[in-house]
Structure 1
Amino acid sequence: MSGPLIELVSVSLHYQAGDEIVPVLNEINLKINAGEFVAIVGASGSGKTTLLNIIGCLARPSTGTYRLNGSSLLEADRETLARLRREYFGFVFQRYNLLPHLSATENVEVPAVYAGSPILRRRCRAQELLTSLGLDHRAEHRPNQLSGGQQQRVSIARALMNGGKVLLGDEPTGALDSTSAREVIGTFKSLHRQGHTVILVTHDEKWPSMPIE
């Protein structure tokens, strides 16, 4: 039997603030298998986003071990971590982080631009993703012409652009009304059924008990 996709062993992180050491995470142990749907639940300031950043190779722990698909990343260089972020992980943020001067299609294309994908290939891929998320009729709209739920689905499409085997969501429904939030939750459930590993940070204690059809 193969091991977990993501494994954290005794992971801690602290910051130095003058003469004081400020702990953020303390001795975190976590295993996530490929294809799981995981919610990291906690109050504001509890270190949820920091933990997600470590999982997504945006931050390094101060101590402990992080293995991705069996390989330790603690000694990985910046180029390797950047490649993993670009090709392995897809990030979805609370505030969408879309570029206001670009259309929905162009926003979705951004990760592929950095990956060096040819323009025709990335344009077709972006349009396919937007269509799959029900946004083909909004493909040429800019963010300010889209609802909050539509903007978040654009950001999900962007996260999938280079594959997005592991989708990392940081409070992805936090800025949405209840109707839009349900739509976005439904999108994550659908992607989970398609085989994506989904890891979401939330303060909503209802998330862990949500049925994943």
Structure 2
Amino acid sequence: MDLRDFLFVEGVEIHLRTIFKRYSNISRFSNHLIGGYDNAKDSGNKWQGNNIIDLFEHVPPGSMALDMVSTDGGINWRPAVFIKTDRTMRDCFGSKPQINIRVAAFALNDVYLFVLMVKVGGNWYFESWLNYHADGGIGRSFFEGLASHLYIPVVFLDEGTAIASAYEVKNSVRYKFKNYLKVLPDIEPWSMDTFDEAKTIFMELLPNLCEMWRLCEEQLL
């Protein structure tokens, strides 16, 4: 089995497609590399911290990231999605929003990138990029957690860093991550810098978030 069997599109195919700006035509959001909290590139600076709250102090509403969380005193850990919001977003979400999750895989020069997307309601799209070889093993922890847990916490933060609401969302991408883990451990590791460079290229070439959501659905994994 080869990881490329699971890819939505390889880098060589990406370069043949029309170049779009990296914005949704419904809502605009920033995008962040997950697995090293010194990568909040959209803020114009590099931030370092010990947890997700350190990152979200410095990013605009619409930013999405992952962290490992525990609800039993640190005995068990699982991935959770954090999304920074503003009042307009929360009013549109309502008290019982419909939340869905999708993932797609990409490759560029033997660097593999995975985009995790969250859709809230009918027209709000968010994304984060996952790096299996992120420093400190956090990337591997995300993949293993996403492959094993039946539900993923989705946490909406307010304009600061307080939790506005949180939901347990069915993990509809679990079997895709199981497939990824069958081959990723045997692939030659890449550096964080190499991942950043590949991600920058894809961010310039991929379609808007609404179209990306539809493409994630069409990916055969």
Q: What's the TM-score once normalised by structure 2's chain length?
A: 0.26
Bigger share in helix: 1
Q: What's the TM-score once normalised by structure 1's chain length?
A: 0.27
